[in-house]
Amino acid sequence: MDPIRIVEAVLFSTPSPLRVADIARETGLPQTTIRKAIKDLVSEYDERGSAIEIAKIGPSFSMQLRDDMADVATPFAEKEVPEEALKTASMIGYHQPILQSDLNRMLGNGVYDNVRALRSLGLIKARKVGHTLELTTTRRFSEYFGISNTDREGIKEWFEARIKE
């Protein structure tokens, strides 16, 4: 079997980004072969102007829609994050670390349910600070929203770039 097609099938099949070592462990392919296959897939998708791309997210790789195709596909996609929690997620991502009490003042009491939902999906984490929680994003947050950076400043820059668009 062609290693490029094996890596493509693996990335297509998984809901979360994978490290080269993870792909190697499960497929038995050498890591150098996997890196070359990923590079070839990136070139292949770019050359044909595909709506799909292979994105590097931290040390991992994921198959996802290109940003400019998201508007077309969004109406057809199943939503894992409740619509009402998206604003809360974006505020946490942009302002992190942020206190839940401050977020409540900004967005209202619905924040508590939204924070609970986002935590249950593994998109944010909370740390007790006094009588409230300090909220930050997780690696899964970056993976889920297709943000190539996982650090706080990188996530904030990603949001700022989307605002400018």
First-last CA distance in the chain: 42
Supply 132's token pair. 């409230």
Q: Are residues 59 and 12 in the same domain?
A: yes
* Residue 106, domain extent: 83-164
> Does 91 reside within a domain?
yes
Instruction: Please count the residues of the chain.
Output: 165
Q: Are residues 91 and 156 in the same domain?
A: yes
R_g of the chain, CA atoms, integer Å: 18
- Please, which residues have CB within 8 angstroms of residue 35's CB and are 6 or more apart in sequence? 20
**Coil, helix or strand at residue 140:** helix
> Does 42 reside within a domain?
yes
> Does 78 reside within a domain?
no
| Residue-wise pLDDT tens digits, 8-53 | 999 999 888 899 999 999 999 999 999 999 999 999 999 999 999 9
Rounded CA-CA distance 21/24 in Å is 5
How many angstroms separate the most distant Cα atoms in the chain?
Answer: 57
Rounded CA-CA distance 69/73 in Å is 7
| Residue-wise pLDDT tens digits, 67-98 | 888 778 878 877 788 888 999 999 999 999 99
Looking at residue 81, its pLDDT comes to 85
| pLDDT exceeds cutoff 90 at 124 | yes
What percentage of the chain carries pLDDT values higher than 90?
63
Among residues 73, 108, 134, the one where a domain terminates is 73
Residue 77 vs residue 111, higher pLDDT: 111
10 within 8 A of 17, measured Cβ to Cβ: no
> Does 92 reside within a domain?
yes
CATH at 117 = 1.10.10.10
Among residues 34, 49, 73, the one where a domain terminates is 73
Q: How confident is the model at residue 143 (pLDDT cuts 50, 70, 90)?
A: confident
Q: Are residues 89 and 108 in the same domain?
A: yes
Among residues 29, 49, 73, the one where a domain terminates is 73
pTM score = 0.60
